[in-house]
């Protein structure tokens, strides 16, 4: 019979836990506008690249499937 493990209690950062939600400092506030804008632009760029790669992969799979079907017919 296995021993029961005690659940660990996760505590939030003491600074943000003690402050009301209105006064809590966010990451956006700490970084500043310029850095935050660069991060958002980088995220959008990465998301667009990932989406393009996924679309290309889907098109390649469809093409290969079509080629296999052609070979089976002939």
The three state secondary structure string of 2-71 is CCCCCCCCCCCCHHHHHCCCCCCCCHHHHHCHHHHHHHHHHHHHHHHHHHHHHHHHHHHHHHHHHHHHHH
Q: Establish if 7 belongs to a structural domain.
A: no
Residue 26 lies in a domain: yes
pLDDT at 50 over 60: yes
Distance, CA of 38 to CA of 12 (rounded, Å): 28
Is residue 30 assigned to a domain?
yes
Higher pLDDT, 20 or 28: 28
In a domain, 45, yes or no: yes
Mean pLDDT of 28-54: 91
- Identify whether the C-beta of residue 16 lies closer than 8 Å to the C-beta of residue 24: yes
Residue 15 to residue 25: CA distance in whole angstroms: 9
Is the residue at 55 inside a domain?
yes
Q: pTM score > 0.75 for this model?
A: no
Percent of the chain residues past pLDDT 90, beyond the cut: 42
Average pLDDT value for the chain? 80
């Amino acid at each position: 019979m296995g021993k029961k493990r005690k659940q660990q209690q996760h505590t939030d950062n003491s600074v943000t836990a003690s402050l009301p939600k209105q006064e809590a400092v966010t990451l956006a506030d700490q970084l500043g506008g310029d850095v935050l804008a660069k991060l958002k632009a980088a995220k959008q760029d990465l998301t667009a690249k990932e989406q393009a790669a996924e679309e290309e992969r889907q098109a390649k799979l469809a093409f290969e499937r079509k080629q296999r079907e052609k070979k089976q017919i002939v």
